[in-house]
C-alpha cells in the first residue's frame, strides 16, 4: 500500500509546515512545490485509484453478479454486497458497500444489466460503514434507513485519524497474509478482496469523501412503494447495531436481513442488550406473518440463505 502511505505522509508534512510559525513563507512555498511534484510523480493525484492495472483486472474478475430472479441481482466482491431490484419507478438498491471506488464498479454492472440508470432509493440495512460508504455513488437516489443510522455511522470529523489508522492496520494485515497465500486458493482470494475493500475505505477517508447518510428515516416501521413493488421495513431493535432493520419485498418473495444472522442461523449480535428483546419478539412475529411468501433470504454480505436458516435464527432468539 505504497500510495496510501504516501498520502498519509504528505498530510503530516503539510500539517507540520503550517503549524510551525518559525518556518518562512519562502521555505513553505519551496517545500509545498516539491511535495506537489512528488505527489504527481508517484501517482497520488485526484485520479489515483490505489490499484495498478493487474489488480484492477483482478478486482473485475472477482466481482460476482448473481441473478436472484428476473428483477433482482446481487453484486458481490468478497464480503462486499449490493443488491439491486428493478421496479416500474426505477432501481432500488439494498446496502451500498464499503467504498465509493468498488461501489462505482457495481453501479456500472447494475446499469448494464438493467439497461437503465434511474436509481431512486438506496436502503441501508444498518449504519455500519461497510454498508453505507458507497451511498454517495448513487447521487440522485434518496437514502433510506433507520433513525439510528446516523448514530452508528462513523464520524470522520471526530475520529478521522483513528479511522485511518485502523484501516491502515487492516490493509497491512491482509497484505502480509497475501504474501503467505497460494494465488490459486480461496484463502488468497479472501485476503485479496479484504485488502482491496479496506484500501478503498482508507482512500475515501483520506480524501474526505463525505458520507451520504439516510435522508428518509423511520423509528419503527415503514412501507416504501415504488410503482409495482413495495419494500416493507421494520426495526429489529438493538442487536448487531443500533439501527438494524429487516426489509421484505413481497413481489420478489425476498427478505433482506443485513448482518442479523448468517448461514445456519448464526446470530450476528455484536453490540446488543436484553433491552431490545421486545422489539426482537415483534420483529419475529412480523417475519412469521410473511414466512409462507419468503423464498429467498439475503444477508448483508452476499450470502443467499434459506428459510431454514431464518427459522434457526428466530428459534435462537428466546435463549439469547
129 to 16, 148, 153, 261: CA distances (angstroms): 30, 13, 6, 18
Q: What is the mean pLDDT of residues 27-53?
A: 54
190 to 72, 106, 193, 194, 249: CA distances (angstroms): 25, 18, 5, 6, 31
Whether CATH 3.60.15.10 fits 59-152+213-319:
yes
More confident residue, 274 or 236: 236
Q: Residue 32: CB partners within 8 Å, gap ≥ 6?
A: 14, 17
Q: Dihedral angle at the C-alpha atoms of 250, 254, 258, 260, nearest 10 degrees?
A: 100
Write the burial class of residue 25 (CB in 10 Å: 0-12 exposed, 13-18 middle, 19+ buried): exposed
User: Confidence class of residue 269 from pLDDT cuts 50, 70 and 90?
Assistant: confident
* 292 secondary structure, DSSP code: G
For the chain, give every domain's residue range.
Answer: 2-41, 59-152+213-319, 154-206
More confident residue, 111 or 28: 111
Q: Is the pLDDT score of 113 beyond 80?
A: yes
pLDDT score of 154: 85
Cell for 261?
444472522
* CA distance linking residue 292 with residue 301, whole number of Å: 24
User: Confidence class of residue 43 from pLDDT cuts 50, 70 and 90?
Assistant: very low
pLDDT score of 134: 98
Of 10-19, 223-232, 244-253, 287-296, minimum mean pLDDT range:
10-19
Amino acid at each position: 500500500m505504497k500510495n496510501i502511505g504516501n498520502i498519509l505522509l504528505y498530510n503530516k508534512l503539510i500539517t507540520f509546515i503550517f503549524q510551525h510559525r518559525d518556518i518562512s513563507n519562502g521555505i513553505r512555498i519551496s517545500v509545498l512545490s516539491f511535495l506537489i511534484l512528488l505527489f504527481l510523480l508517484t501517482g497520488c493525484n485526484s485520479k489515483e485509484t490505489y490499484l495498478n492495472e493487474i489488480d484492477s483486472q483482478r478486482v473485475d474478475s472477482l466481482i460476482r453478479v448473481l441473478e436472484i430472479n428476473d428483477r433482482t441481482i446481487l453484486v458481490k466482491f468478497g464480503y462486499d454486497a449490493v443488491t439491486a431490484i428493478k421496479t416500474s419507478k426505477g432501481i432500488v438498491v439494498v446496502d451500498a458497500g464499503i467504498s465509493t471506488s468498488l461501489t462505482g464498479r457495481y453501479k456500472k454492472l447494475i446499469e448494464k444489466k438493467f439497461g437503465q440508470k434511474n436509481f431512486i432509493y438506496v436502503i441501508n440495512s444498518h449504519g455500519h460503514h461497510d454498508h453505507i460508504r458507497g451511498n454517495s455513488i448513487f447521487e440522485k437516489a434518496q437514502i433510506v434507513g433507520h433513525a439510528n443510522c446516523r448514530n452508528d455511522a462513523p464520524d470522520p470529523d471526530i475520529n478521522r485519524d483513528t479511522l485511518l489508522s485502523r484501516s491502515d492496520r487492516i490493509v497491512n494485515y491482509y497484505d502480509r497474509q497475501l504474501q503467505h497465500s497460494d494465488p490459486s486458493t480461496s484463502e488468497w482470494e479472501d485476503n485479496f478482496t479484504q485488502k482491496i475493500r479496506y484500501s478503498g475505505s482508507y482512500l475515501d477517508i483520506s480524501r474526505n469523501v463525505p458520507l451520504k447518510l439516510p435522508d428518509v428515516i423511520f423509528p419503527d416501521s415503514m412501507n416504501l412503494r415504488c410503482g409495482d413493488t413495495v419494500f416493507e421495513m421494520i426495526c429489529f431493535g438493538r442487536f448487531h447495531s443500533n439501527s438494524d432493520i429487516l426489509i421484505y419485498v413481497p413481489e420478489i418473495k425476498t427478505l433482506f436481513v443485513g448482518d442479523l444472522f448468517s448461514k445456519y442461523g448464526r446470530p450476528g449480535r455484536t453490540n446488543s442488550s436484553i433491552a431490545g428483546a421486545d422489539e426482537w419478539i415483534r420483529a419475529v412475529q412480523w417475519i412469521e406473518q410473511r414466512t409462507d411468501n419468503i423464498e429467498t433470504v439475503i444477508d448483508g454480505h452476499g450470502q443467499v440463505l434459506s428459510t431454514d436458516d431464518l427459522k434457526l435464527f428466530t428459534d435462537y432468539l428466546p435463549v439469547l
